Amino acid sequence: MSTQTLSGKVALIQGGSRGIGAAIVKRLAAEGAAVAFTYVSSAAKSEELQNSIIAAGGKALAIKADSADAEAIRNAVNATVETFGRLDILVNNAGVLAMAPLDEFKLEDFDQTLAINVRSVFIATQAAARHMGEGGRIINIGSTNADRMPFTGGAAYAMSKSALVGLTKGLARDLGPRGITVNNVQPGPVDTDMNPADGDFAASLMALMAVGRYGTVEEIASFVAYLAGPQAAYITGASLTIDGGFGA
């Protein structure tokens, strides 16, 4: 009997080539899911990740798709279904972080923040839900900054992640009658190349955290894997914080 909780399932991860996204791809594959994931520019890393999963006996598909492009998102959903025959799990992980003082913040950066951090989640969910049945899982990757923004320059980012809280609740109502859950994972500071644990912000951020350290991408991925699995069937519409006490 297989101990893999996602055996026979198919997952699509928006933004899966590096950092938290790549860790989610690896974890869902380790749990038995066939995994498709999108990338924009990290072609070599994406091919390496895809091939490593296949070499280990899993199923994987790297798809080049810009999350700011609605048609590219829909095509990624269709490619996943065409390749693996179904779609059970969608993880909306693609995101951008633009920071600047209010009087210097560019409108194009504001628009891109909304397009990738919020609009792409709606588009991907709308497209993916057409292929999902009972037991479907949609998991958005938000941020603890939805609840706490303790430094200047992050207003647009915090706004975009707060928007996911409401979007998650509404989508949970829309899809609950079909047996599809929708949840929002809100990580705190996590050690990635975008925000390394030895980076410029690290000391100030760790001073705000109860556990005094950054999280790991594997810790976030394990939380996502739980929400994607059968034991989380009664959790929906929730924004679940995993932040080492950053918001405590």
Residues forming the active site: 157
Q: How far apart are CA 188 and CA 205, in angstroms?
A: 9
| Residue 138: strand pairing partners | 90, 182
Q: Which secondary structure element, helix H or strand E, spans residue 137, and what is its range?
A: strand 137-141
Q: How far apart are CA 33 and CA 109, in angstroms?
A: 35
Q: Which runs of E-coded beta strand occur in 142-247?
A: 181-187, 239-242
**Contact 124/77 with Cβ under 8 angstroms?**
yes
Angle at 195 between CA 243 and CA 139, to 5 degrees: 50
At 106, phi and psi to the nearest 5? -85, 140
